[in-house]
Amino acid sequence: MNEALVLETFDVNARYEDNPVKATVYCMMPPWRGAIFVRVSTNLNKEETLIFKSDDKGEVLDWGELEGIRDVIPHDEMMIRIGYQPRIP
């Protein structure tokens, strides 16, 4: 079974307080599309949920979207859509 281990969930509002973004960092087992760590970000103003390659702290390494939808959905649902079972340690 593919698993996505939740490492951290946080708000990304340091720079843009008027643009609320929620993020979750996952460790992908096995790696997904070449990424061991991914950050799922939900932009509430743009109403989109996107996946980016990141480090284990959630810093985006490549702003090219690995996957995305134009809707606000829970991050665990996004993991299920790509074939991974989210797991909280």
Q: Where along the chain do its domains lie?
A: 3-87
The model's pLDDT over 11-58, given as tens digits with 9 standing for 90+, comes to 886 555 677 889 999 999 999 999 999 999 998 888 899 999 999 999
- Note the pLDDT of residue 30: 98
Q: 13-21: long-range contacts (C-beta < 8 A, 24 or more apart)?
A: 18/45, 19/43, 19/45, 20/44, 20/45
How far is residue 53 CA from its own chain's centroid? 9
pLDDT in tens, 54-81: 999 999 999 999 999 999 999 999 999 9
Residue given tokens 């743009």 in the structure block:
46
Sequence letter at residue 75? H
Is the full-model pTM beyond 0.85? yes
Predicted local distance difference test score (pLDDT) of residue 15? 56
Beta strands in 12-81 (DSSP E): 21-32, 35-43, 48-54, 60-69
pLDDT at position 46 is 84
Under 8 Å CB-to-CB from 18, ≥6 apart: which residues? 45
Q: How far apart are CA 27 and CA 4, in angstroms?
A: 6
